Amino acid sequence: MNLHRAIRLFITATACLCTLPLAAQEFEQEPIRYSQRVPHNRVSELIGQLERGDVRLEHAAPCGYLRSLLKALGVPVSSQTLVFSKTSLQRHRISPRAPRALYFSDDVYVGCCQNGDVLEISAVDPELGTVFYTLDAEAADPPRFVRQTDNCLICHGSSQTKDVPGHLVRSVFADASGLPILSSGTYRINHTSPLKQRWGGWYVTGTHGDQTHLGNLVVRGRYEPSQIDNSAGQNVTDLRDRFDITQYLSPHSDLVALMVLEHQAEAHNLITRANFLTRQAMHYQETLNRELHEPPDHVWDSTKIRLKSACEPLVEYLLMSSEAPLTARLQGTSTFAAEFAERGPRDRHGRSLRDLDLERRLFKYPCSYLIYSPSVQALPAEAKDHLCRRLWEVLTGADRSPAFAHLSAEDRTAIREILQDTLPGLPDYWRQDVAVRAE
């Protein structure tokens, strides 16, 4: 690496440096010790395979290691979304004429800038939450991966990510250079966000009827962004007149992929939050019992309260609570939707939590497919027990509180039956047949 490039990388990496958020300071302590623990995730596995010579990455123009890396990690090209706001590590490489490409699977995210110094990668680690890496864009044998901690945690380990190492999807008004117009406000996006607030600073391909969004909008001149007519940015299916699409692996920035990405990123944050808070609560209880000479299995009321606080937001999110409704059918432009649904698993009736609705809501059966993820399966026993019990109460109709009013009797029965057939390790009480009465 030449000196000029090294200096540029250093400046980029340290541009936002400041004292780590209090949340980061907490998860650097026992029992988490985020930066000190050895990660075990899809990327760390790949690094080991590369070092042993079991796998090779090919470096080829115009995207360097990108295509080979996606294949090695099982990340589909159809997941490509394009963001042109300068809101990430290599902001100097991003603009409306050169958007950053983002690709994702259930547990890996890969970002690529045109002529970038590095590929940006984040992996979902069952014990550590999100672990961040960069892969040097220059060819090397083996390729040079670096785990990133402090630099990334400034933005990705704060209240914006539920105070855990996580992901952040933002919608902003961006000017002709891609700079966010912060005075006009920004939005943190997940499945509860109305469509009209989504995708500012992103390119979007697909149709959505008369629903509106902020995608494909570049603010030019001294206009108040909220008053700009973005009709030309709606129902866009071709981006060729906006930038050189031949420099990307796909010509799409598929709106269905964006919808899934936004749901998934927040779900990962909440899974990690439930994991960390539960482990911290149990660590504190263990210390308290030891100091006060209580039996090791003594459970404090304060611990029960902390466990509920840790896990209840995850229960609600997995069951798509407060999801913003759709009022017209969504249709993407790539093969993402079909490939996503094909991945199953399916129950004895052929139903899957990956089946998409895209007319009233995102999923046909409103329960997140991430319930199958290694991160959920690796939750501490106390958190997993709470999750299973609460899902059972909601899906049998025992809990009809407002947070779950969007679930019809048919929804509850279908989700429960799908999980009974496809989710291993459910408690014995889940094997009961329960008829959910109509609303």
pLDDT at 155: 74
In tens, the pLDDT along 202-224 reads 999 999 999 999 999 999 876 67
Q: Is residue 424 part of a domain?
A: yes
**DSSP string covering 192-203:** TS-GGGS-TTEE
Is residue 277 situated within a structural domain? yes
pLDDT at 6: 41
pLDDT band at 437 (very low <50, low <70, confident <90, very high): low
Q: pLDDT at position 325, please? A: 97
- What residues are paired with 131 via a beta bridge? 123
Q: Is residue 383 one of the residues assigned to a domain?
A: yes
Catalogue the E-assigned strands of 19-158: 81-83, 100-104, 108-112, 118-125, 129-136, 145-148
Distance CA 210, CA 232 (A): 13
In 96-229, which residue ranges form alpha helices assigned H by DSSP?
150-156
- Tokens representing 183 are 């005075």
Q: What is the mean pLDDT of residues 252-256?
A: 98
- Which residues are CB-contacts of 246 (< 8 A; sequence separation ≥ 6)? none
Backbone φ, ψ for residue 316 (5° rounding): -65, -40
State the sign of the Cα–Cα–Cα–Cα dihedral 181, 116, 48, 78.
positive
CB-based contacts of 316-319 (< 8 A; 24+ apart in sequence)? 316/403, 316/404, 317/266, 317/267, 317/270, 317/368, 318/267, 318/367, 318/368, 318/370, 318/371, 318/387, 318/391, 319/366, 319/367, 319/368, 319/391, 319/394, 319/404, 319/407, 319/415
pLDDT value of position 1:
45
Is residue 284 assigned to a domain? Answer: yes
Q: Which helix (H) or strand (E) holds 172?
A: strand 170-172
Q: How many domains does the chain have?
A: 1
Q: What is the pLDDT of residues 321-346, one digit of tens each?
A: 999 999 999 999 999 999 999 999 99
The pTM assigned to this predicted structure is 0.91
> Residues 332, 326: contact at Cβ < 8 Å?
no
Cα 251 to the center of its chain, rounded Å: 22
Range of the domain at 405: 265-431
- Its sign, for the CA torsion 80, 362, 425, 345, is negative
CA–CA distances in Å: residue 32 to residues 193, 289, 302, 376? 31, 20, 20, 17
Q: Could you tell me which of 27, 22, 20, 263 has the C-alpha nearest to residue 127?
A: 27
Q: Is-cis flag, bond preceding 345, omega within 30?
A: yes
What is the pLDDT, as a whole number, of residue 223? 66
Percent of residues in the chain assigned helix, strand, coil, to nearest 5: 40, 15, 50
What length is written for the chain?
439
What is the spatial distance between Cα 340 and Cα 337, in angstroms, rounded to a whole number? 5
Residue 183's pLDDT is what?
87
Please count the other Cβ atoms lying within 10 Å of the Cβ belonging to residue 39. 18
Does 420 map to a domain?
A: yes
Distances (CA, A) of 326 to 211, 260, 357: 8, 14, 10
Using an 8 Å Cβ cutoff, are 218 and 175 in contact?
A: yes
* Domain presence at residue 123: no
Mean pLDDT of 185-207: 96
Say if 257 falls within a structural domain.
no
21 inside domain: no
The DSSP 8-state label assigned to residue 111 in this structure reads E
